[in-house]
Amino acid sequence: MLKRKITEQLKSWVMSKNKKCLVVMGARQTGKTYAIERFAEENYEDFVEINFKETPSAAEVFSGDLTVENMIMALRFRYPEKKIAPGKTLLFLDEIQECEEAITSLKFWANDNTYDVISSGSLLGIDYKRASSYPVGYVDYLTMYGLDFEEFLWAMGITEDMIDSIRGYLTKKEIVPDAINKQMMAYFRKYIAIGGMPEAVQKYIDTKDFREVDTVQRNLLQGYQYDIAHYANAEEKVKAEKCYLTLSKQLLDKENHKFQYKEIENGARAQKYYSSIEWLLRADMIHICKLVSDVRYDLEDYAREDFFRAYTTDLSLLISMKDYSLKQHIVENTFSGNTKGGLYECAIADALHKKGYALYFYKNESTKKELDFIIQVDGAVVPIEVKSGNARANSLKSIIKKDKNITYGYKFIDGNIGVADDGTITLPLYMAAFI
């Protein structure tokens, strides 16, 4: 059983006073249903699970008056074997996007505050069959991603105390012993090749066979393509799929990783395809990193909507867009050039996104200064450069020196920890999961 961080977040939700209904959001196949089911089994005497995709007829429970009394009575008649009791039973409404009335009911469950209710689903940002949205003010939200690198280490058998020792080197800014650093980089490259989708990680644990993992990854990618075909409107279907499948070319095959519409088809323009990018964003299939015109707080004030980089929401999906041989090159560390730089950039983007950071980048053609990422921490700007080797980070040094409000920046490398007097903190690539 894969250990997931969301379990602790679910426990905090249960313990909160006057808790609202909880909506667990996220892309498909990230493990939402599995995590909630295990949580229910371990923390409640009983739980009622309704999957509106598997059992569309269950929508009848919410077809009448949406009072808690009526809904509980309907649930008891439908599931007479269940003991539905306040505080002892969890009601789990899965794939809730399939039932508009169940979405509306969350307001009444929250007002009553007698029963614990969690809902979940994929593509919750797509209004493909409902006019209403989630009851504002009556629900709390959690977003679940594929496994991050720390969760991947747990899956590989690395214990909490071992991971705490890695954090210790980061906190003290001390060099990681060479043997440990090499092993951690090996795990990180393996993580890049496998990605964080639970099914792919579990397949590797069970078989240690990368070809089996590859099959899982490609099936997941096909599932995402199916969602585009099934849920996007007629105008967006083909365009959204083209945008999505071009991400490997955008990120791994060229030096400039800014999303370029010309890579989709000759003469393509934003006017034709930007609505498809927005659809993929709402569907949790991509996340983006915006270009900023200045490196200062608040970055969103300087962000440009028309210049961005687009990343898959998990590395599994990006890797499956390329040939199987890429996995071998990643694990054996025999890849190079644009692909190596692009993959490491994507891995850092993946780590930062899964930690909840909004991502930005900076590029100034006249000064030739460029930053791979910029994040905001406690109201301060933190610039980041990613290097496939250990090349100089001239732009990073220059920007820290120029702006007294920027006290430090990160340089992620295939190397070890180092701290320079100019404020540059050099870290191994895998440390992005722990900053």
Instruction: Say if residue 298 is preceded by a cis peptide, omega within 30 of 0.
Output: yes
Instruction: Judge if 21 and 80 occupy the same domain.
Output: yes
Query: What's the domain range around 415?
Result: 149-433
pLDDT digits (tens, 9 = 90+) for 160-208: 999 999 999 999 999 999 999 999 999 999 999 999 999 999 999 999 9
| Residue 137 covered by a domain | yes
Last residue of a domain, one of 121, 143, 165: 143
pLDDT in tens, 89-114: 999 999 998 999 999 999 999 999 99
**Domain edge (last residue) among 143, 166, 186:** 143
Together in a domain, 121 and 266: no
Q: Is residue 239 part of a domain?
A: yes
pTM: 0.94
Pair 81, 223 in one domain: no
Cα atoms in the Cβ-side hemisphere of radius 13 Å centred on 286:
26
Q: Is residue 58 one of the residues assigned to a domain?
A: yes
- Looking at the structure, tell me whether residues 103 and 220 fall in a common domain: no
Instruction: Give all strands of the β-sheet with 380-386 in edge-to-edge order.
Output: 303-312, 286-292, 359-364, 369-377, 380-386, 409-413, 424-428, 418-419
Residue 102 near residue 52 (C-beta atoms within 8 A): yes
- 248 and 366 in one domain? yes
How far apart are alpha carbons 296 and 298 in whole angstroms? 6
Q: What is the spatial distance between Cα 193 and Cα 212, in angstroms, rounded to a whole number?
A: 12
Q: Cα–Cα distance between 139 and 109 in angstroms, integer?
A: 10
Identity of the residue numbered 149: F
Cα 246 versus chain centre, distance? 19
136 lies in the same domain as 219: no
pLDDT of amino acid 215: 98
* Same domain, yes or no: 133 and 226: no
Of 143, 170, 197, which closes a domain? 143
**Closest listed residue to residue 144, CA positions, set 36, 12, 26, 315:** 26
Average per-residue pLDDT for the chain:
94
219-268 pLDDT per residue, tens = 999 999 999 998 899 999 999 999 999 999 999 999 899 999 999 999 99
133 & 180 share domain = no
Question: The domain that contains 127 carries what CATH number?
Answer: 3.40.50.300
Establish if 377 belongs to a structural domain: yes
Does any domain span residue 1?
Answer: no
For the chain, the maximum distance between any two Cα atoms, rounded to a whole number of angstroms, is 71
**What does the pLDDT read at residue 129?**
45
130 shares its domain with 212: no
Task: For 292-345, write each residue's pLDDT tens digit.
Answer: 999 999 999 999 999 999 999 999 999 999 999 999 999 999 987 788 999 999
Same domain assignment for residues 75 and 159: no
Residue 74 falls within a domain, yes or no?
yes
DSSP code of residue 174: P
Count of CB atoms within 10 A of residue 87's CB?
Answer: 11
- Establish if 175 belongs to a structural domain: yes
**158 and 18 within one domain:** no
CA atoms of 162 and 360, how far apart (whole Å): 32
Domain count, the chain: 2
**What are the contacts of 262-268 at 24+ separation with CB within 8 A?**
none
Report the Cα–Cα distance between both ends of the chain, in Å, rounded. 27
Same structural domain, 123 and 162: no
DSSP H helices, 246-288, are 247-252, 270-282
